[in-house]
Amino acid sequence: MLLNQINSPADLKKLSVSQLETLAEEIRGFLIEKLSKTGGHLAPNLGVVELTLALHYLFDSPKDKFIFDVGHQSYVHKILTGRKDRFDTLRKYKGLCGFVKMSESEHDVWEAGHSSTSLSAAMGMAIARDLKGEKNKIVAVIGDGALTGGMALEAMNHIGHERKNMTVILNDNEMSIAPNVGALHNYLNKIRTDKHYTKVKEEFEHLLKKIPAIGGTLAKTAERLKDSLKYLVVSGVWFEELGFKYFGPVDGHNLTQLFETFKQAEKVNGPVLIHVITVKGKGYSPAEADSHAWHGGGPYKIESGQFVKVVGPPMYTDVFGNTLIELAEQDDRIMAITPAMPKGSGLEKFADKFPGRMIDVGIAEQHAATLCAALSLEGMKPVFAVYSTFMQRAYDQIIHDICRQNTNVVFAIDRAGFVGADGETHQGVYDIAFMRSIPNMVLMMPKDENELRHMMKTAIDYNNGPIAVRYPRLNGVGVKMDDQLQPIPIGTWETVREGEKFAILATGAPMLELAASAAELLKSEGINPRIVNARFLKPLDENMLVSLYEDGYHIVTLEEGAALGGFGSAVLEFYAERGIYGMKIKPIGIPDYFVEHGSPKEQRQEVGLTPERIVTELKAMLPRKRQAAGLKSR
C-alpha cells in the first residue's frame, strides 16, 4: 500500500498524480476502518482527502502554515504528518486528539474546536510574518457553515482592508453539522449551481488575453468588461468586493484542478479565496446519504452503516425535546432557537411539529441570544437550546441583552459537564461559574430525567427573568416519568438520603451517583452522610444552608464544573457573607486546568471526582483524636 510509505509530507512529493489518486482511496479506506472502532468525525474527513493531499503536495508544512477551522476535518492532515500509527487511540484517553493539537505535531499550528476562528488566526500570523520579514505561506481552510459565523466575516473585512498575502480555502459542502441556513449560504449555492459560469469566464478571459496591450484606456475598458461579467453570471463578486481574488468553484475531488488552481493563486499579490466544492462523506455511501448523522458519531458497523448504540433510558437531550413539544402544545408563545444544532439539541421533532416556531440561525450564537431577548420583549417565550461549550460564545449578549434587560428567556444548556471524547474544546464545565455571576439569572440542574421535565415546566412558567436548566450528555437514570408536570419552587433543594453530621451537596445526576457510592463506602466506617439534591445552583436554598449550620453539619459540595467560582464557591460565599464560621466546608469540582479527551469516567478519575475522594475528604473533617483512634468508636 502507498499509505504505508507515507510518514511525512515530504514522502508525498515523490508521487505522481495517479499515485496520489490511489493514495486518496487508501486513506478513505483507512479512515472508514479506524473510525468504525473509535468513532469520530468521519463525513467531514472523507470530504477533504484530495484537498488535504493537494495542500501538503504543493506547500511546505510546517514552514507554510495550515489553519483548519474547527479542526474536526484534520484527520487526513494527521495521517500525512506521521500520526497514522496512533489512530487506534483517536479520541481515547491520552491518545490522539480529535482536533488539531500543537503538542502532537509541529505541523499543527492552531488549535480550535469551535468554528469561525481560522481567518482571524491567519490574519494574525500574516501580520507577524510580515513584521518578521519572513516569506512563508499561510492557508486557512474554512467550511461554508463556519463562514457564516460573525467572527469569520469580521476577519474577512479586516483581511480585505489590509490585503495581506494569504490563501483562504472555502470548503463548500453545503453543511456544517446540520444543513446550512441563511442568505450567505444561498449566495454560495448560486455560485455552486451555475453550470455556465466557469466556461463563460474562461472563454472571456482567454479573449481578453488576445487583445493587444495598446493603451491604458483599452486595458481599463477590458477590466470593466470583466467586472461586469462577474455581476452578470453571479461569480464570487461578493468576495472580490471584500478585497479577495476569487477562484472557483473548483472540484475538490479533482487533484489536477486543485493543483492548477493553487498554482494560479500563488501568482496573486494579496488575499486569495479558492472556492472548493466537496462531498461530505465521499467514498462511504451511508455517510454520503446522511452526512448530518455522520458528521461525528460513535463506533459503527462498516458493512451495514449502523451505529453501535447502547440500549438504556432516553438521553436527557431527547427528554428535553419531547417535553418542549408537550409544553408547546399548551402554550403558543413557546419558540425554540438553536445555533446550527437542531438534531444535537433534540429539536428535530419540534421542528416537524411546529415549523413556524423553530429557528435555526446557523453558526451565530451571539445573534441567537439577542434574538431571544427581542422575542421575549415582544411577548414570546424563547427557549435557547445550545451546548454549554457553544453558549459561552454569546456571553456578552447573555449579560447585556438578556440578563440586563431581565428578559424571559429559557436556556436549555446541553452537554453540561464532561463530554468525553470531544475533549477540552467542548467540555461543558464553565457555565455554572459564568452564569451564576450574572444578575437576574436562575440556574437549575436535575437529578434525573423526570426532574428535567418538571424543570422545563418551571422554566416556562417563570416570568421574572432569564432561567436556565443544564443537563449532561448522558442517558437518564431510568426513573418513571410523571404524567403531570409541576413547577418546582425556585431555590429549593431536596434531601434524597437522610444522615447526620455530614452533608454532601451534589449537583446533577452524575454527582448524586458519586455521593451515593461514597455513602455506601462510608457505612463500614460508621459514617452516615446526608445527601442533598442541590438542584438550584442559583439561587441557593438559604433555609437549608442555615439549618445545616444550626444542626452542626459539615459540608462537601460536588459539581462537574470548574471549582473556581462554581457551586462550591457559592456555598462558601453564602456563609462568609453572613459571618457564619465554625463549620467545615470542602468544595470538590474540576481544578484550574483544561481536561483533555477520554471517557467521562476517566476524566472524573483524573480530577478526583470519585467516591474515594469524597470518603477521604469527609474523614479529614473528623476530630483529630477520632481520626487517630479509628472510626469504629462511633
3 state DSSP class of 139 = strand
Q: Choosing from 282, 357, 393, 473, which is the catalytic residue? A: 393
CB 168 within 8 A of CB 143: no
Q: Determine whether 393 is an active site residue.
A: yes
Residues 500, 502, 504, 505, CA torsion sign: positive
Q: How far is CA 115 from CA 40, 148, 396, 426, in A?
A: 17, 10, 18, 12
Q: Which residues pair with 384 in a beta bridge?
A: 337, 411
Could you tell me the three cell numbers for 19? 499515485
Which residue, chain included where needed, has cell 495542500?
A: 55
Q: What's the CA gap between 146 and 152, in Å, rounded? A: 7
Q: Determine whether 415 is an active site residue.
A: no
Residue type, 193: T
DSSP 333: T
Longest dimension (CA), the chain: 106
Q: Choosing from 164, 280, 357, 535, which is the catalytic residue? A: 280
Q: Choosing from 50, 111, 174, 365, which is the catalytic residue? A: 365
Output helix, strand, coil percentages for the chain, rounded to the nearest 5: 45, 15, 40
- Report phi then psi at 282, rounded to 5: -55, 130
3 state DSSP class of 309 = coil
Q: What's the CA gap between 511 and 460, in Å, rounded? A: 26
DSSP 430: S
Burial class, 114, CB count within 10 angstroms (exposed 0-12 / middle 13-18 / buried 19+):
buried
Q: Determine whether 303 is an active site residue.
A: no
What residues are annotated to the active site? 280, 365, 393
